[in-house]
Amino acid sequence: MHEICEQIAAEEHLRLRIARIYSELSPEVLQRKVAEGRTIALPPAGKLTRETIDGCEHIVGLMGHEPIAQALKAGANVVLAGRCTDAALIAALPLLRGMPPGPTWHAGKTAECGGLCTTRNDWGGVLVSIDQGGFEVEPLDDLAACTPRSVAAHMLYENADPFRIREPAGWLDVTDATYTALDDRRVRVEGSRFDADAYTIKLEGSAVVGYQTVSIVGIRDDAVVARIDEWLTSLEAFLTNRIQTVLGLDTSQYDIVLTPYGHNAVLGDLDNDPRPAREIGVVFSATAADQETATNIAKFANPYLLHHPLPDMGYLPSWSFSSSPAEMERGKVYAFVLQHAVEVDTPMELFRLDLAT
């Protein structure tokens, strides 16, 4: 991104000061935090260990607004920031200019996804105007409108609690916020507050959990669809037994998952919809320590995905794969392993600012 910005500046004859803020963290820095007892496990994670840190390929910290504000204060025209909280991108400048944190963080949260807080949420952006008493929001697209409902509803987006949101410096609380239509396009928001708390930085990190191969089969058979849970359980038990017998692998060496899209694949046991499915796409995934093993498992499973009968079925069913060859190698697969935060002495402690002259 820095090279692209420099290229554009040269082509357009612009003199820009470009700031780069790096948010990737070294394992050594976090190991010290662990040793000092300054890490916090966020539900449902357990205590952060050295082994977890060492297993991550990359670790980033979610910066607050302060590193961005520092870059702007130092005269940056362009700020290229690493991982940060979404609202911090918008909150940095108004906070630097003395706007109150409650309305500012709420405005940042509202505008983070552009037009998502409007009636035409797939198009355009919004303008937020912040003052000492609150903020106003209006769409940039002439065909869109902000309404009290559309603006308030954005607090539901990606939040476990629609009234309180954690930022590095504390909590945005909109419990007492009011949303008032100024006209048919603009909304004013008042009553938001920000409760300061111990400064913490949330961590994000992923680790390689293996290599994966997938196959997708489409099932349209009334008998099997009506008893899909039984069919899945039966097939998984059969494959587990046969993989050990034929391939010589025990369950500690691989993982298989059968996901029936069209039948509770998204919500699982939370789905109480009684409507029956007509057809179900079953995604089979095999994960192992190497790609060859994962693919061998998938190839072994493929005939049974096509023809596995119910226990009392008097015929051999047949379905179809979505592709040929059926198995598709996904390569490395990752899992998020960091659901933790760390205490810091200053907002800039974990981040590096590089400001070109």
List pLDDT tens digits, range 15-57.
999 999 999 999 999 999 999 999 999 988 999 999 999 999 9
DSSP per-residue string spanning 227-268:
THHHHHHHHHHHHHHHIIIII---GGGEEEEEEEETSSTTTG
Shared domain check, 324 and 234:
yes
116 shares its domain with 187: yes
Q: Which residues contact 262 (CB under 8 A, 6 or more apart)?
A: 277, 279, 280, 281
Identify whether 79 is part of a domain: no
Both 293 and 256 in one domain: the answer is yes
Q: Are residues 193 and 220 in the same domain?
A: no
Report pLDDT for 357.
Answer: 61
Cα Rg of the chain, angstroms:
26
Both 213 and 184 in one domain: the answer is no
| 193 and 233 together in one domain | no
Per-residue model confidence (pLDDT) at position 26: 94
Is 202 part of any domain? no
Same domain for 105 and 127?
yes
CATH classification of the domain holding 231? 3.30.70.600
Task: Summarize pLDDT for 328-354 with one digit per residue, the tens.
Answer: 999 999 999 999 999 999 999 999 999
pLDDT at 29: 94
Q: Which domain holds residue 246?
A: 209-336
Q: What is residue 314's predicted lDDT score, i.e. its pLDDT?
A: 87
- The position carrying tokens 């906070």 is 95
Q: Are residues 139 and 254 in the same domain?
A: no
Residue with tokens 């995905």: 305
Examine the domain organization and report whether 223 and 244 are in the same domain: yes
- Measured over all CA atoms, what is the biggest interatomic distance in the chain, rounded to whole angstroms? 78
User: What parts of the chain have a pLDDT lower than 70?
Assistant: 357
Interatomic CA distance for residues 311 and 203, integer angstroms: 48
Number of domains the chain is built from? 2
334: closest CA among 205, 245, 214? 205
CA distance 183 to 119: 14
**What pLDDT sits at residue 273?**
80
pTM for this prediction? 0.83
- The pLDDT of residue 105 is 98
Domain assignment present for 355: no
